[in-house]
């Protein structure tokens, strides 16, 4: 039986569109997505490709403010939107917006099952404020089921005393084939791409925001500690932008020998070109609920070096197989792993193959299948 599903989420993120399309294409799901905002221009430079959307959606009127480190987003019109949509199930992405609580209250009032879709893990940097923790547990108590991207988020819900039978895995996914095909084309056009982006012949790659939490300063320090002969042969390419750009540029200029490049922020259609020609992808994050750039890098066949606090690591980075895992903030360990990958072509080839094969399981169709199981679990008796 077809179920009407309203999915509430923050912004129109490019990497979410393929998975929402996959869910909407299922014969058992009638999907409508409610976005709290079209984008967050203070953090994201993504282009919103509305022409790729294959599901019904709406963007609620909103006011966004930054209060210190906190992102405050207020919406109007959510109860009326839910009433018009007449869902059989509401899925809510997270619990940290006023709209999340409005949706939960509306679900209870109208006896509509409510599913929390959460990526939080035990490693997330959070205040541990007792009031916030109590509110979180209260929110969880009002949910009929839970969707998680992988093992780390499931473990965190266990710590919050959520029964395992209420937790369903919808593996965090992106369009693997799109990135894989684009990477293969890029390898056939490597000379032009190297010239266009001023890329070294060999390089380590990082893609993300230049902010402290992403560990980019630790990555640059780890590069500076590489054996000099490695730095002379293998560069470091940092794709992105952010508040640390000036400091990164200044420190990079002092690394001798060494080749550090800053291509700037790139939209998703250009990223496979950069991924395709790299030796390895480095994800030095200090806290991250998942890390979609790791999915993208694996889809392009790259070995991964990631810190142990990244949410995706438990599922995607099998130490010594699909990548190498290092402790967060440990510059020496990160540099050692980079030295190892740079000097061992057999290791790079072996973990690259495993990386490419493993990421095939993290497809939009498999994400949609996980969501469907959760939806039918809470509507089985209706």
Cα-Cα-Cα-Cα dihedral sign, residues 108, 103, 120, 365: positive
Fold of 176-361: Rossmann fold (3.40.50)
CA distances from 340 to 8, 173, 322, 375 (A): 44, 29, 14, 45
Question: Is residue 268 exposed (0-12), middle (13-18) or buried (19+ Cβ within 10 Å)?
Answer: middle
What is this structure's pTM?
0.94
Q: Any idea where the domains of the chain sit in the sequence?
A: 3-173+363-378, 176-361
Report the alpha-carbon distance of residue 303 to residue 322 in Å, rounded: 6
For the chain, the maximum distance between any two Cα atoms, rounded to a whole number of angstroms, is 67
Q: Do the two domains 3-173+363-378 and 176-361 of this chain adopt the same fold? A: yes
Name the β-bridge partners of 326: 307
CA angle, corner 91, sides to 298 and 41, nearest 5? 60
Report the alpha-carbon distance of residue 24 to residue 2 in Å, rounded: 11
Q: Which helix (H) or strand (E) holds 275?
A: helix 271-276
Query: Could you tell me the two tokens for 254?
Result: 């002092």
Q: Give me the residue label for tokens 């929110």.
A: 139
pLDDT by residue for the chain (382 residues), tens digit each? Answer: 899 999 999 999 999 999 999 999 999 999 999 999 998 876 677 788 899 999 999 999 999 877 666 678 999 999 999 999 999 999 999 998 999 999 999 999 999 999 999 999 998 876 677 888 899 999 999 999 999 999 999 999 999 999 999 999 999 999 999 999 999 999 999 999 999 999 999 999 999 999 999 999 999 999 999 999 999 999 999 999 999 999 999 999 999 999 999 999 999 999 999 999 999 999 999 999 999 999 999 999 999 999 999 999 999 999 999 999 999 999 999 999 999 999 999 999 999 999 999 999 999 999 999 999 999 999 986 6
Query: How far, rounded to the nearest angstrom, does the alpha carbon of residue 68 sit from its chain's CA centroid?
Result: 24
Among the listed residues 50, 47, 62, 64, the one whose alpha carbon sits nearest the alpha carbon of residue 17: 50
Domain formed by 3-173+363-378, architecture: 3-Layer(aba) Sandwich (3.40)
Encode 189-211: b = buried (16+ Cβ within 10 Å), e = exposed. eeeebeeebebbeebbbbbbbbb
Report the alpha-carbon distance of residue 57 to residue 76 in Å, rounded: 16
CA distances from 112 to 55, 57, 91, 106, 143 (A): 21, 19, 10, 8, 10
């Amino acid at each position: 039986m077809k179920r009407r599903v309203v999915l509430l989420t923050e912004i129109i993120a490019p990497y979410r569109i393929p998975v929402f399309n996959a869910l909407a294409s299922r014969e058992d799901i009638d999907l409508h997505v409610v976005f709290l905002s079209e984008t967050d221009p203070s953090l994201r430079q993504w282009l919103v490709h509305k022409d790729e959307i294959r599901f019904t959606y709406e963007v609620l009127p909103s006011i966004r403010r930054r209060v210190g480190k906190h992102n405050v987003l207020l919406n109007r019109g959510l109860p009326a939107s839910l009433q018009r949509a007449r869902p059989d199930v509401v899925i809510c992405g997270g619990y940290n917006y006023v709209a999340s609580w409005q949706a939960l209250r509306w679900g209870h009032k109208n006896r509509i099952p409510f599913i929390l879709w959460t990526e939080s893990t035990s490693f997330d940097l959070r205040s541990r404020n007792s009031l916030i923790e109590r509110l979180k547990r209260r929110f969880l108590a009002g949910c009929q089921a839970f969707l998680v991207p992988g093992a780390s988020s499931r473990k965190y819900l266990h710590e919050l005393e959520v029964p395992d039978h209420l937790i369903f895995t919808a593996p965090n996914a992106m369009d693997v084939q799109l990135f894989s095909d684009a990477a293969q084309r890029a390898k056939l056009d490597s000379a032009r791409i190297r010239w266009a982006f001023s890329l070294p012949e060999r390089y380590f790659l990082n893609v993300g925001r230049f902010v402290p939490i992403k560990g980019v300063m630790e990555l640059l320090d780890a590069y500076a500690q590489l054996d000099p002969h490695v730095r002379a042969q293998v560069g470091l390419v940092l794709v992105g932008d952010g508040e640390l750009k000036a400091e990164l540029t200044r420190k990079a200029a002092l690394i001798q020998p060494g080749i550090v490049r800053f291509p700037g922020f790139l939209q998703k259609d250009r990223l496979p070109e950069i991924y395709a020609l790299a030796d390895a992808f480095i994800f030095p994050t200090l806290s991250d609920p998942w890390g979609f750039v790791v999915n993208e890098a694996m889809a392009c066949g790259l070995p991964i070096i990631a810190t142990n606090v990244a949410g995706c690591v438990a599922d995607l980075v099998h130490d010594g197989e699909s990548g190498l895992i290092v402790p967060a903030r440990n510059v020496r360990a990160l540099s050692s792993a980079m030295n190892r990958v740079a000097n061992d072509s057999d290791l790079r080839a072996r973990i690259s193959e495993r990386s490419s094969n493993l990421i095939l399981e993290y497809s939009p169709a498999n994400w949609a299948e996980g969501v469907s199981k959760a939806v039918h679990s809470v509507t089985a008796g209706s």
